[in-house]
Amino acid sequence: MRRSDLSALGHLRIRKAEPRDAPEIAALHVRGWEEFRAFVPEPVMQARNLSAREHEWSAILASAGSRMSVTVAEIDGVVGGFVHCKLLDEPVRGAQSEITRFFVAAGLRRQGVGRRLLAAAASWIRDRDAEPISLYSFTQNRFRAVYAKLGGREAGERPSVWDGIVIPETCYVWETADDLIGVCSASSDRWTAGQAFRGDREQPRGV
């Protein structure tokens, strides 16, 4: 079944990702980055093709431990969204944890799938007393304002380096996990968090 048909499916399950999910997560990841072509240089895009993403996610899921979590949204057995978060070794902009990767397939947006994924990530972080929570979005990402609507406090910008090329990122911070969980629970199902997928953190301070 094509992913464009996902919105017509019925049973939504939010669950911990497993190694077998790597190919589907990788395919979504590649599709998510297509939304950044307007400002991400082509060499950076090419270096993050499907093969590279499959290798990346296979390694992540094979080595997942107590300091990181990957959660997927599965609709009738098909992965339609994911969120990756981790504990930080030391505070960054006051945060003890970071939501590092987040994407929802286009056919599932505005249906509450994205906020359920974010709430799951925040719950995992809360259980480990790793608040505040940070999330970085490419500054040129036209959908990043959704994080402010979800209660994220804008906490500055950093010059993130991708294969030697600087692409600025804006930081959002939630002081407590309950702040994010609460707004996700209260938000309308018709929101666009899936469109706000930031990319990921591949630099030394990243994943």
CATH architecture of 11-196: 3-Layer(aba) Sandwich (3.40)
The pTM of this model reads: 0.85
Smallest Cα–Cα separation from 165: which of 202, 128, 132?
A: 202
Residue-wise pLDDT for 85-116, tens only, equals 999 999 999 999 999 999 999 888 888 899 99
Domain positions in the chain = 11-196
Token pair 């609460």 is found at 182
Residue-wise pLDDT for 30-54, tens only, equals 999 999 999 999 999 999 999 999 9
Smallest Cα–Cα separation from 86: which of 128, 25, 147?
A: 128
Smallest Cα–Cα separation from 162: which of 45, 37, 33, 2?
A: 45
What pLDDT score was predicted for residue 186?
80
